[in-house]
Structure 1
Amino acid sequence: MTTTEDRACCLIFSHAVGSETTGPYPVTAAVPDAVCLAHFLAGLPDPRDRCGRRFPLTAIVTAAAASVLTSARSLTAIAEWITDAPRWVLLTLGFAFDPFSKVVTVPHPTTVMRLLGRLDGDAFDAAVSTFPQTRAAGLDAEKARWRAVAVNGKQLRGSRAAGGKAVWLLAAMDHAGTVLAQRQIDTKSNETPAFIPLLDGLALENTVVTADAAHTQHANGLWLREQGAHYIAVVKGNHPSLLKQSRKLPWAVALDHKGRTEGRGRLEACHLKTAAFRHLDRPGARQTLRVMRRRKDLTSNKLTTERLYFVTSLPPDAASGAGIAAWIRGHWKIENRLHHVRDTTFAEDASTICVGRLPRVIASLRKLTISVCRQDGRTDVPAATRHHARHPGRPLATLGWT
């Protein structure tokens, strides 16, 4: 039986073959209103001189995205994928057909490396972040009342930025696994000043933002409330007075949520209590949360207890205790579903791509791969990349040529 994916690949093939004698294949001819990555790359600034633009920018960048979708880890692997791609795939991507030599010319690996290394990092991140967001809007049948977004940073350990420091990227990911934005941290700064610029421009209404203690700042909370968003902020030792006030609240209140999980060799019980207040110095804060975690190591039988405090701008009737507990626990999905996957599936920390803007650009292509795979219901990202590698039409269909 012919699947929808196979029919899409055949449609791409028939259009590409029919256009070989006339020039590059019109990438949006099959479905004009498709959410296609090439549309979002069309406005990307081209860093090359006009006289040196032999290959279309969108063709090279989209080919690089398709190769990473098939598990390419290095610049060499990206260039090899472009060189080995079938002619109809290259025509679909926008590479030119030479009617005299009867071949589709492709860029040299050095050309691919130089172009990717000169791209505007902010513009490229914006393009590859907007694509999965637009794609997700078409996939979602229903909108939940609240959307949860986690903010967290990661160092690319094998890279080197100015001053010899590793490239540090701050990312925002919804708890469903779609990366919404990414921003490079200045080498002379830290994550805190990049919080607002990272989220600026996103639709934040009815969004609950979770972040670690470094982002529990007055300015961040005030800005989020101005955007119509709510926050759940961790209170730790970097805010001693707020932590002291939180500990002194009357916690002899009823339990709002009780959860129990088992995994990774340990058993964990989690208790959540909430206390409404009006006197803490935090912009828009309405509740304080206390989470008590009791863990038992199943190997050593060692017991540990941890108390964590949070402040949130959510009013008491906005969400249930189970919902708040899920958001607090779901914040760490950005570590498990994004940072850990980039390290294990793409060996990011061991990567030798370390010069200029290349680490950031390749990291953006990896997060794009992770986002679209999860949107398609493929939670096993390594298996998803192997799936795309088995047929050259599959990455094209995922990136919009359907």
Structure 2
Amino acid sequence: MLAVSSSLIAGAGHAAAASVGAGSPPAGLLDRLAQVADPRDPRGVRYRLATLLAIGVCAMSAAGHNSLTAIAEWVRRCEQRELARLGCPFNPVTGRYRVPDERTLRDAYARVDPAVLTGVGYGHLAALARPAIAAVTPDGVGEREQRRAHRAAATDRPRRAAIAVDGKCLRGAKRPDGSRVFILSAVRHADAVTLAARQIAAKTNEIGEFAPLLDQIGDIDLTDVVITADAMHAQRAHAVYLVQQRHAHYLFTVKDNQPTLAAQLRRLPWKQVPILHRQSSRGHGRAEIREVQVVTVDDVMFPHARQVVRIRRRRRALGTKRWTSEVIYAITDLPTHQARPEEIAVWAREHWTIENSVHWIRDVTFGEDASQVRADNTPAVMAALRDIIRGTFRLTGWVNTASARRAHTIPTATL
């Protein structure tokens, strides 16, 4: 069978799947999952909802277990003591713990509210982060992983925390009418922890879900927090909501979906504006130079606007001499003394955290785009479980999620 190692136990808590020699965990994920309301008819319910969700977390933490079928196979291979810790019911007739099948998992996941599950997952990750476990590198993490973690910790942080908001299409999940499933998420820049997520209903888009998404994290004070978003969310209503209702700040990319605003930004006297910040980097097979120019404006062109930013990115593949160039415009409500050019550059670059550390990992490491589950809320629930696993690994010291999943896949010596 497959066992689960000690770092996931630290994340999954007292009732997670067992690990040989695992120590006492700091918190119980099973107890937190019990906070998710069970929408099923209580008549005939054999497995607690928290147990079924915990099985999904533990199973998908191991490499190769990306589907409901694989999750059901994983739990069938669990030993009796592991099923007991997961909270599976005991059958006095056979003297063994019962194991849920794929249909049981599928029916339960389809009815769970993914927004509530994401909130419970964030509560678990927030509690896990308090003991500063992220500063500890778990056994088995290679030297390369340690160097990456050290570089990430040594990076100078801006004065304000930032949260990225972006949507993702689950390409393999199609509704009966042929429409695709989209999920809008809010992810913290500093550690890529998902704070909230909402499944976008059919015949609508991300714009109408922006405020409801951030309302889900109403227990988190957004005062002085910078919300970064792509051009789709460069909406006047979003700016008013953030500044006036949540007392937060915004950094919105502006493109041609807002033609009037985009034209105004391009017409600013950029040739007369000096480059206030320049940064060079090499990695991933390319060299890159980023140059930042800033112009102070008023809120006539956009609600509460104080600065317009022009970021020029120049790239070339290593070993070549040809450079490609890209120019990005952005707008923020923060005045010059509250947002230096180098801070804006960090926020703009780290907005890609949601793509590189969340969407890409779910797609490539967990095979999310290949998943064809589509019944009701199942795609969003599976995405929320993947975020819990990804966040747990990250907060327990793993930089590479794929490496962590492989480490949590331990075959036994017997066949």
* TM bucket, shorter chain: 0.7 to 0.9
Quote the residue 2:334 is aligned against: 314
1:54 counterpart = 2:54: no
Q: Which runs of 5+ in 2 are unaligned?
A: 19-23, 136-152
Question: Unaligned regions of 5+ residues in structure 1, if any?
Answer: 17-29, 393-402
Please list the CA deviations of residues 4-41 of structure 1 after superposition, one character each: whole Å capped at 9, or x if unmatched: 869989x969xx9xxxxxxxxxxxxx67xx43222332
1:124 aligns with 2:117: yes
Say whether 1:236 aligns with 2:228.
no
Mean Cα deviation higher: 159-168 or 177-186: 159-168
1:50 alignment partner, SS class: coil
Alignment of 1:168-317 (within 5 A): 168-175=182-189, 176-202=191-217, 203=220, 204-225=222-243, 226-251=245-270, 252-298=272-318, 301-317=321-337
Shift of 1:171: 1.1
In structure 1, how many angstroms separate the alpha carbons of the residues matched to 2:9 and 2:168? Answer: 40
Q: 1:52 to 1:6 in 2, by over 3 A?
A: closer
2:392 aligned with 1:378:
no
2:369 aligned to which of 340, 349, 354:
349
Amino acid at match of 1:174: R
CA shift in 2, pair 1:199/1:162, >3 Å = farther
**Could you tell me which residue of structure 2 aligns to residue 389 of structure 1?**
409
Q: Deviations over 1:150-195 (max 9, x none)?
A: 1111111111225221211111111121111111112201111111
- Partners of 2:257 and 2:7 lie apart in 1 by 52
Give, in whole Å, the separation in 1 of the partners of 2:303 and 2:52. Answer: 46
**Percent identity of paired positions between Structure 1 and Structure 2:** 35
| Structure 1 residue corresponding to 2:95, chosen from 92, 99, 102 | 102
**Which of 328, 332, 357 matches 1:337?**
357
Give the Cα–Cα distance (whole angstroms) in 1 for the partners of residues 332 and 9 of structure 2: 49
Deviation at 1:347, TM superposition (A): 1.4
More divergent stretch after superposition (178-187 vs 262-271): 262-271
CA distance in 1, matches of 2:255, 2:372: 36
2:106 corresponding residue in structure 1 = 113
Distance 1:390 1:127, change over 3 A: same
What does 1:18-57 align with in structure 2 at a 5 Å threshold?
34-57=26-49
Question: Are residues 1:90 and 2:105 paired?
Answer: no
Matched AA of 2:263:
K
Task: Give the drift of 1:357.
Answer: 2.2
**Counterpart-to-counterpart distance in 1, 2:30 and 2:316:** 50
Per-residue Cα deviation, 1:231-265 (whole angstroms, up to 9, x for no partner): 11111112222222222334323322101122344
Alignment of 1:125-144 (within 5 A): 125-139=118-132
Q: 1:173 to 1:355 in 2, by over 3 A?
A: same
Aligned partners of 2:46 and 2:89 also within 8 Å: no
Secondary structure of the corresponding residue to residue 408 of structure 2: helix
3-state SS in 1 of match to 2:399: coil
Secondary structure in 2 aligned to 1:328?
helix
Query: CA contact under 8 A between 1:163 and 1:187: conserved in structure 2?
Result: no
**Residue aligning to 2:149:** none
* Equivalent position SS for 2:354: helix
**Match of residue 66, structure 2, among 73, 82, 87:** 73
User: How has the CA–CA distance of structure 1 residues 208 and 67 changed in structure 2, closer, same or farther, with 3 Å as cutoff?
Assistant: same
Offset of residue 328 of structure 1: 0.4
Q: TM-score, normalised by structure 2?
A: 0.81
Query: What SS is found at the alignment partner of 2:198?
Result: strand
Q: 1:46 to 1:391 in 2, by over 3 A?
A: farther
The count of aligned residue pairs is: 372
The CA RMSD measured in Å over matched residues stands at: 2.9
**2:158/2:346 contact within 8 Å kept:** no
SS of the aligned residue for 2:35 comes to: coil
Structure 1-normalised TM-score? 0.84
In 1, the alpha carbon distance for the partners of 2:257 and 2:47 equals 51
Amino acid at match of 1:88: R
CA distance, structure 2, for counterparts of residue 207 and residue 173 of structure 1: 12
| Equivalent-residue separation in structure 1 for 2:36 and 2:6 (angstroms) | 31
CA distance in 2, matches of 1:131, 1:47: 21
Aligned to 1:359: 379
